Amino acid sequence: MPSIHPNLNDFKITVITGAGFSQPSGIPTFRGSDGLWRNYSPQELATPSAFSQNPSLVWEWYFWRIKLIQEAQPNPAHDILAQLESQGCDIVILTQNVDDLHERAGSRQVLHLHGEIMKTWCVGCGTKNITPPGTSTSLPKCPLCDGLLRPAVVWFGESLDSTILKTSFKRLANTDLLVVAGTSAVVYPVADFPFHAKRLNPSIIILEFNMEKTPISPLTNKTILGPVEETIVSYFQHYGGSLET
């Protein structure tokens, strides 16, 4: 890969990623004609009440996704962000994705706003990340209290981790370039992050990478339409010194 433009090291870059970022790695998105919600309803699978009513069904869905993620590889969009960080750029990723593809690509400054699918916590005693979920079809149980383990992800109606939120807001307040990539930008509170960042710093540059326009498009300096695995790579590889180019 060509090395990045030295000027990029002068900027604080924050990248908000969504399911479209992992889509080129073969991980399905949620919304849209090929999305997961096409076959499953979010209320059946991604809420605390769905889990308490039918933990086996919810775990079955997560086991299937865990296997897909384990077999997937980071794509060029993950790679370019990791490359920027390894070449000295101050870049923080705020991801809504529960997969570990940013980390596997080599990014270190990654905050998982909607949790991590490879981790669990116990519904009985609250202990976090005692055992990984595995990919078995039996319900995972807590080795400490025999309670039911659940995926350490954030479901609808649940609060995001307060420390991660606090760190994200601090970073948004201290960002020169905000990149929003592969998210439909309809799920709160993350959907409000670009608006929040713009309110805090009206001179922030906001770039969006998506296949289509989203509710944040009117706010951005530029929305670059197309597959992120091509567009974001091209943007950073051909970056010539001006953030808006």
Report the interface residues with Zn ion, using CB under 5 A. Answer: 122, 124-125, 142, 144-145, 147
State the Rg of the chain over Cα. Answer: 18
How far apart CA 80 and CA 87 sit, in angstroms, is: 10
User: Does 112 qualify as catalytic in the annotation?
Assistant: no
User: Which of 78, 102, 112, 114 is labelled catalytic?
Assistant: 114
Please state at what angle helix 162-172 crosses helix 193-200, rounded to 10 degrees: 40
Q: x/- string (CB under 6 A) for ligand BJW, residues 157-196?
A: xxx----------------------xxx-xxxx-------
In whole angstroms, the minimum distance from the beta carbon of 108 to ligand BJW comes to 21
67 binds ligand BJW, rule: CB under 6 A: no
Q: Which of 21, 176, 196 is nearest to 89 (CA)?
A: 176
Binding to ligand BJW in span 19-58, by CB under 6 A? 19-20, 23-24, 29-32, 35, 46
The sign of the torsion formed by the CA atoms of 79, 80, 81, 82 equals positive
Residues 203-242 touching ligand BJW, rule: CB under 6 A, are 209-212, 214, 227-228
Angle at the Cα of 16 (from 25 to 34), degrees rounded to 5? 40
* Binding-site member from 78, 102, 112, 114 for ligand BJW (CB under 6 A): 114
Active site residues: 114
